[in-house]
Homo-oligomer: A and B are copies of this chain.
Amino acid sequence: MTPDVVALLRAELGDRVDTSPAALESARADKSGHASAGSPLAVVHAASVDDVRAVLRIATATRTPVVPRGAGTGLAGGANTGRGEISLSLRGMDRLVEVRPDDLLAVVEPGILNAELNALLEPHGVWWAPDPASRAISTVGGNIATGAGGLLCAKYGVVRDAVLGVDLVLADGRLLHLGHRSVKGVTGLDLTSLVIGSEGILGVVVGATLKLRRLVAGERVTLTALFDDVRTAAVASAAVTASGIQPAIMELMDATSLAAVHRLLSMPAPPAGAAQLTIQTDGPVAADEARAIAEVLRGAGGQVAVAVDDAEGETLLAVRRALHPAMETLGTTLIEDVSVPRSALPAMFDAIARIERRFGLNIPTVAHAGDGNLHPNFVFDGPDVPAVVWDAAEELFRAALDLGGTLTGEHGVGVLKRRWLADELGDDQWRLQRDIARVFDPLGILNPGKVFAI
């Protein structure tokens, strides 16, 4: 059957069907460090909605699994494509179709990069708020498929708050237009929200109507605060949230993370054990807010430094942005992604410290402290995640759930977290969700084995 599928694809899609060894190899993995067993049948570089529909019709006729793919920057293995599967790349469908600053909306194809989109929107005085750390290299379609987050979520929302509608190709090739162009709308079930974060198991997103914001007027003020230890920093960040002032960015780096970045950037080493908050305010009263936040931080034991201008602010933020390269200098990294209520941040850091001691691991952790989303990094040698790391991760997940949180704040379930999904959802909800997915895709053609592990 295998050669038939490729022949069928080529007959319809010609040289957009790529079976070069390099393409097949790169489709096996995303940025999670995890790769599929075996190589896909082909990578199809879709250039149009019709291409996507053609691939899915062939896939349905031949019962061939299809794995949609943006730029391959995911961190949960959701786009990894293996033996007998078709990798369906949307990366080439990257047009900004329409911008309506008066209606605060834009229509895009899914392959456009988040940062490219925002560069095109800026002259219109608008932006799309979701800002995953990967925004320079990740696609809007991928951001939608994973329900991506970022640094600005507490103030400016997540992807779910920023999409009015999606065009979705179903497993059998039918095209649906979900949502609408108006701000409000409650006609029928909200399938747009259901598709956001569904990781390619319900359909292939081939277009999106995005909800935009005006560029934020006023200034930006950036400050850092150094604390004796991570717990004190976490308590301070919770105090900022509780004070009622809403920073645009509030990032926390623990001692190991901070020290690793300082080494990478050839900066003087921070004091032993010290953790840091990096905070940015914006808008018409940014300076007042920064002053008030600085007071809260000093009261919580922080050593505060305020950037004198935007350039210095960017330098302070660059420390946080260098986290992933810094982790890579330590070894292979499994980036975790739990999210908890903001007041539970100190308790979650306590849990991480317990897990470090219990398993004899070092788990450098950063957090989007403004919204309670933590990225504990498990660093190890070699390509494969050691069993002890999975055991520690499992305990980490349970701790987050016990605190009222969730397995994944912004990366998704993919392959890496599917074995814990039922722990969070409960068996009844897990089955209900799986049955909903089957309504969209009765044959199980779309991204099988992801999320629900079926």
- Which positions in A face B, CB cutoff 8 Å? 100-105, 125, 146-147, 149, 153-154, 157-158, 160-161, 170, 174, 176-178, 180-191, 193-194, 196-198, 202, 214, 238, 241-242, 244, 246, 284-285, 339-344, 368, 371-373, 404-413, 417, 421, 424-426, 428-430, 432-433, 435-437, 439-440, 451
Main secondary structure of the interface of A (DSSP, over half): loop
Question: Which of B183, B186, B372 contacts A154, CB < 8 Å?
Answer: B183
Copy tally for this chain in the complex stands at 2
Q: From A157, which residue of chain B is reached at the shortest CB distance?
A: B161
In the bound complex, CA of A342 to CA of B341 (Å): 35
Question: Which of B160, B161, B417, B439 contacts A436, CB < 8 Å?
Answer: B439
Q: Which residues of B contact A242 (CB under 8 A)?
A: 101-102
Other A-B pairs beyond A188-B433, A189-B197, 15, CB < 8 Å: A103-B341, A104-B241, A147-B190, A161-B161, A170-B428, A180-B405, A182-B340, A182-B405, A186-B411, A187-B408, A187-B413, A187-B421, A190-B196, A190-B197, A284-B284
Pair B194/A189 contact, Cβ less than 8 Å? yes
In the bound complex, CA of A182 to CA of B343 (Å): 10
With known contacts A193-B190, A342-B102, A428–B183 Cβ distance under 8 A: no
Q: Which residues of B contact A202 (CB under 8 A)?
A: 189
Q: From A213, which residue of chain B is reached at the shortest CB distance?
A: B246
Q: Which residues of B contact A342 (CB under 8 A)?
A: 102-104, 183
Pair B183/A373 contact, Cβ less than 8 Å? yes
Task: Give 8 A-B contacts (CB < 8 Å), ordered by A residue.
Answer: A177-B426, A180-B405, A182-B371, A183-B339, A183-B342, A188-B421, A188-B424, A190-B198
A369 CB to closest chain B CB, in angstroms? Answer: 11
Q: Which residues of B contact A432 (CB under 8 A)?
A: 170, 176, 191, 439-440
